[in-house]
Amino acid sequence: AVNRTPEIQAARLKLPVCGEEQTIMEAIRNNTVVIICGETGSGKTTQVPQFLYEAGWSHPDSDNPGLIGVTQPRRVATVSMAKRVAQELNLTDKEVSHQIRYDATVSAKTRIKFMTDGVLLREMSQDLLLTKYSTIIIDEAHERNLNTDILIGVVSRVLKLRAELSREDREKIKPLRVVIMSATLRVSDFTENKTLFPVVPPVINVNARQYPVAIHFNKKTPLDHVGEAYKKITKIHERLPNGGILVFLTGQNEINQLCKQLRKRYPALPPKATKKQVKKEEQAVELESKQVNEPAGKADIEDEALELGDNQVEEDFDLESDDDDDDIAEGFEDEELEDVKDAPLHVLPLYSMLPTEAQLRVFEPPPEGTRLCVIATNVAETSVTIPGVRYVVDCGKSKERKYDIETGVQSFEIDWTSQASAGQRAGRAGRTGPGHCYRLFSSAVFDNEFEKFSTPEIHRMPIEGVVLSMKSMNIDNVVNFPFPTPPPRESLFKAEKLLGYLGAVNTTTKRITGFGQTMSLFPITPRFAKMLIIGQQHGCLPFVIAIVSALSVGDPFIQDYHLDENQPEDSDDEDVGRRELHNINSESVAEKERRKLVRKKYYSSQMKHAGLDPSSDILKLLNVVGAYEYAGATASFCEDNFLRPKAMEEIRKLRRQLTNLVSSNFPDVDVCLDPKMKPPNAVQLKVLRQVLTAGFIDSVAIRQDVLETGGGKGVRYKNSRNVVYKLLWSDEEAFIHPSSVLYSQEPPAMLVYSELYKGGKTWLKGVTAVESK
Ligand code: ADP
Ligand code: MG
């Protein structure tokens, strides 16, 4: 029934996973959950769906007529793997289909369906039992994305349901099978979790042949990893024997930049091969065979030590480089290839936004006489295997979705990957023979700054965001949800309660409300999302967007000029001077005078921004965000106003992003980013204070004397110094922080705060007075 071409047949036979076909199919027949672990490139993604297909699964007349579903965390692999499997089976994309958010080839004839895990989760909110499917293969489980984790949890419940229902009526409902596939990393989170899988699922290890890879650390860690990668590639290409080069960078722009540089230096069109070149190639082959015979060495960090005392021959590089003397550390020492500068290099980019056709080019053999060089993001780490790679150049970094645990803001940041990821990357060089991995960072950085494993996404996200996403997928019981690595129950419970306060979740049914659905569209913490949605009256939205952006990024004011927070009582300038003198005894009088002036300027700038509405620190923030934009978002504005330029820039970016999100999600709301935004009028200020109160409804503090008089007037105070507040839900004592605009005024009876600061006493920061009716 399966009609593969001889080439495909031959290529399949070489894949380690094909040696385990019997074991795998037997395990799937006898168990509801099976875990398959294997090195990247061993054939899991392309072959396991075919095993099922060939055994008759998904055939309408078989015992298991449902679709074979395969989930992927990344779109790039979803599309390219579906294509590859269709090609291997000699079928069309109607039969082996893919579905990603904005694109699908699914048809009535579909037998195997590749999709992102997000797509399957959305499907499940309509069809929880996954009745369309006979098998769900969850791929790349080691990546531990939030969606993958949630999917594994939900599916573990569906398995039980499907089993029960099929016992009642085997004709109508068949049991479901689940296959979890992972690179060789931490499977114990899945196997040793009894809540998730009460019966320990069998783990099939696919032993792939992995040749040794010599690891070469840089002596120093350069800031410009793109430039460093360029240098390293030229050295490899010009001095080392045949073999593909795979380079890991962090993103599209870097990749395109490097591709351009490399193509310029090594033009794609090979100049006519001269005799000299042919000879060089012969030499290269010779050298290569020599190289294979010598042990390529383990991950020898000693390479770094080797370099000491050894003098090496400086070779002729086009690029000046100040640290070329670590050649030995890089494993270039015994190469005596002549200069082959003009040999062509077949440079290909690989990142997720690249069109599929372009992505698939990395699998084709490079043109005769050229060397393949793929510049990729971490898609090439485990999701996509490029044949013939012998050298890996790893910048050690990746662009990752980051969350601010406090504010829930998502951003994409470039940071070190984990040691486990670096290991995966290095492993790419040892698929076809011994290889080399060049790390563009030092072993000290690797040892001290890389985490062992990357933390599962669920533990990097603010919990109320996780809970809201799950509710938006109609998963109501989050507290008892079988997560592979569950967050603390207490924090799940608290998050659910907060969502109740905010109106995102119905407090009795625990189900998401329409309002909550809207909130879940924003990449910010639910409380800020709420402010955005309710802040649409009286033309307040642009202000609310600015406020939410500022709150999300965090206080942009430089704090150095504040008083010692532990001793707010002595709040005069002299005290600050005294504190500083602890450190700088020899400070000159003139210097002190200068500082005094600076502090004066600081306070007057603070007063200026507070002037808008002296009853809220947050409105002071709004004022400063508006003024910054009005002044052209310049660095000098930041300097004059004691602002952190980076924070202001981030606020600005988030403002733009939120404005776009609001426009695209609420077509009838007309909002744009006005660089000359006028300050809010009196009515708007009132609305804004209400919006702030609603957003911080769980963070209320009441003056103790007012509480004691049962809501009466209480004592009259001139300012907030030593005035005791009680936190509404915990009854804890707290005080308005001296940095607040409210500090020097009559303290309000009730306020909401955006931040609690514990230092000696509990301080209330980011305060807004709640208006008495
Ligand atoms: P795993 O999932 O275990 O990492 P894969 O099934 O993705 O392994 O890959 C198995 C092999 O198939 C690899 O050697 C890879 O290079 C090859 N391969 C995957 N996609 C293609 C393609 N589109 N063209 C040619 N070869 C491919
Ligand atoms: Mg795979």
* Integer Cα distance of 537 and 76 in angstroms: 42
Mutate to test the pocket of ligand 1, among 7, 81, 363 (most ligand atoms within 8 A of CB): 363
pLDDT digits (tens, 9 = 90+) for 691-733: 999 989 888 999 999 888 876 677 888 888 899 999 987 888 9
What interface predicted TM-score (ipTM) does this complex get? 0.99
Ligand 1 in contact with 72 (CB < 6 A)?
Answer: no
pLDDT digits (tens, 9 = 90+) for 421-438: 999 999 999 988 899 999
Residue closest by Cα to atom 15 of ligand 1: 385
**38 Cα nearest atom in ligand 1:** 3
Interior angle at CA 304, CA 300 and CA 305, nearest 5? 100
Q: Are 492 and 513 in contact (CB under 8 A)?
A: no
Ligand 1 in contact with 431 (CB < 6 A)?
Answer: no
Ligand 1 in contact with 46 (CB < 6 A)?
Answer: yes
Ligand 1 in contact with 363 (CB < 6 A)?
Answer: yes
Q: How far is the CA of 363 from the centre of ligand 1 (A)?
A: 8
Task: Show the beta-strand stretches assigned E in 417-456.
Answer: 435-439
Mutate to test the pocket of ligand 1, among 20, 36, 46 (most ligand atoms within 8 A of CB): 46
Q: Tell me the longest C-alpha to C-alpha distance in the chain.
A: 101
Q: How far is the CA of 77 from the centre of ligand 2 (A)?
A: 8
Ligand 1 in contact with 40 (CB < 6 A)?
Answer: yes
Ligand 1 in contact with 360 (CB < 6 A)?
Answer: yes
Residue closest by Cα to atom 24 of ligand 1: 363
Q: How far is the CA of 42 from the centre of ligand 1 (A)?
A: 8
Range of weakest confidence among 177-186, 331-340, 535-544, 559-568: 559-568
**Crossing angle between the packed helical segments 541-553 and 682-695, to the nearest 10 degrees:** 40
pLDDT digits (tens, 9 = 90+) for 471-511: 988 888 999 999 999 999 988 998 998 899 889 999 999 99
Q: Could you tell me the two tokens for 350?
A: 């690989």
Q: How far is the CA of 116 from the centre of ligand 1 (A)?
A: 18
Ligand 1 in contact with 45 (CB < 6 A)?
Answer: yes
Q: What is the mean pLDDT of residues 97-124?
A: 92
Residue 236, pLDDT > 60, answer yes
Residue 307, pLDDT > 70, answer no
Ligand 1 in contact with 38 (CB < 6 A)?
Answer: yes
Residue closest by Cα to atom 12 of ligand 1: 43
- Please choose, from the candidates 337, 338, 379, the residue with its C-alpha nearest in 3D space to the C-alpha of residue 362: 379
Q: How far is the CA of 738 from the centre of ligand 1 (A)?
A: 62
Q: What is the mean pLDDT of residues 37-41?
A: 92
What is the model's pLDDT at position 523?
A: 72
The model's confidence at residue 281, banded by pLDDT at 50, 70 and 90, is very low
What is the model's pLDDT at position 412?
A: 73
What b/e string do you get for 731-761 counting C-beta neighbours within 10 Å, with b at 16 or more?
A: eeebbbbbbbbbbbbebbbbbbbbbbbeeeb
Q: How far is the CA of 425 from the centre of ligand 2 (A)?
A: 14
Ligand 1 in contact with 182 (CB < 6 A)?
Answer: no
Strand partners, 400: 413
Ligand 1 in contact with 42 (CB < 6 A)?
Answer: yes
Q: How far is the CA of 386 from the centre of ligand 1 (A)?
A: 7
Burial of residue 696, with CB atoms counted within 10 A of its CB: 0-12 exposed, 13-18 middle, 19 or more buried? buried
Q: How far is the CA of 256 from the centre of ligand 1 (A)?
A: 24
Give the CA distances from residue 520 to residues 466, 517, 531, 666, 718, in Å, rounded to whole numbers and listed in that order. Answer: 10, 5, 13, 14, 43
Residue 644, pLDDT > 50, answer yes
What is the model's pLDDT at position 519?
A: 87
pLDDT digits (tens, 9 = 90+) for 568-621: 333 333 333 344 444 445 556 777 777 777 777 777 777 777 776 788 999 999
Residues 6+ apart with CB under 8 A from 343: 237, 238, 266, 270, 277, 280, 369, 370, 371
Q: How far is the CA of 297 from the centre of ligand 1 (A)?
A: 27
141 alpha carbon, closest ligand? 2
What's the helix, strand, coil split of the chain in %, to 5? 40, 15, 40
- Please choose, from the candidates 149, 139, 147, 212, the residue with its C-alpha nearest in 3D space to the C-alpha of residue 182: 139
Interior angle at CA 18, CA 15 and CA 24, nearest 5? 140
Range of weakest confidence among 149-153, 283-287, 452-456, 742-746: 283-287
Residue 321, pLDDT > 80, answer no
Q: How far is the CA of 384 from the centre of ligand 1 (A)?
A: 7
